[in-house]
Amino acid sequence: MNIAQKTVLITGANRGIGRALVQEALRRGAKRVYAGTRGRLDIADERVTPLMLDVTDAEQIEQAVRRVIGLDGLDVLINNSGIAPYDDLGDPSVIEQALAVNFFGMYKVSQAFLPMLKRSKGALVNNLSLMALAPLPLTPSYAISKAAALSMTQSLRALLAGEGVKVHGVFLGPVDTDMTRGFEIPKASPESVAQGIFTGLENGEEDIFPDPASQSIAEGWRTGVAKEFERQYAGFVPQSAAGR
């Protein structure tokens, strides 16, 4: 999908990868960028429409849907909002919070905007993580939520295949944001990751590996057993369900 003259909604748009995605969408000629944030956004471009959007708040999601419907509709939804708490699985409330944002928030926003994406034959892009494949024990709640989000992404890909909506999963490695401040490891810049995400989207890659760490496993994933199972299981979706 070419982003030029398209409408794009990005959650978690006020900083880090989200902010870089907004700037990259503008650079690639997006017609309008809806920037979902929980606070003030200071990007001065007439093509940017700020949306107050906490992905755990049902009322704010509903208000965002009404506003987007009233303007240009939607071609691309990028689910970027996320939290990565440090924990040891000893406190269930931390797991619940990670799931509330990283899984249920992504699910609820996706469901709310799917009717628009079906009308536009658009794209759903879910920012996941390499930790969806193997957990880092310092942030296990984050890994659990991203693994759930990966499974949802694969399920939606199969279920929406007959609707014309393309579903993309982004496998992020370490990126230089507030989330990874405590890790002294090589990190990609948010700007380079945003470029990689949109390039993957424009190239039609259903699984996008936008940074050096993720690219190192890209071929193994695409030709591996797990991906083969995904393809096989997608065939079990009845045509009536895939095209409803």
Residue 2 falls within a domain, yes or no?
A: no
Say yes or no to pLDDT of 244 above 50.
no
Rounded CA-CA distance 214/174 in Å is: 9
Rounded CA-CA distance 82/146 in Å is: 9
Residue 1 falls within a domain, yes or no?
A: no
Rounded CA-CA distance 37/18 in Å is: 9
Burial 35-72 (b: 16+ CB within 10 A, else e): bbbbeebeeeeeebbbbebbbeeeebbeebbeebeeee
Say yes or no to pLDDT of 59 above 70.
yes
Instruction: Average the pLDDT over 226-232 and give the result.
Output: 96
Say yes or no to pLDDT of 242 above 60.
no
Residue 219 falls within a domain, yes or no?
A: yes
Say yes or no to pLDDT of 30 above 60.
yes
Q: Which domain holds residue 88?
A: 7-242
pLDDT of residue 42: 81
By annotation, the residues acting in catalysis are 142
CATH number of the domain enclosing 41 = 3.40.50.720
pLDDT digits (tens, 9 = 90+) for 160-178: 999 999 999 999 999 987 7
Q: What is the pTM of this model?
A: 0.94
pLDDT of residue 88: 97
Residue 217 falls within a domain, yes or no?
A: yes
Instruction: Average the pLDDT over 152-167 and give the result.
Output: 97
Domain count, the chain: 1
Say yes or no to pLDDT of 149 above 90.
yes
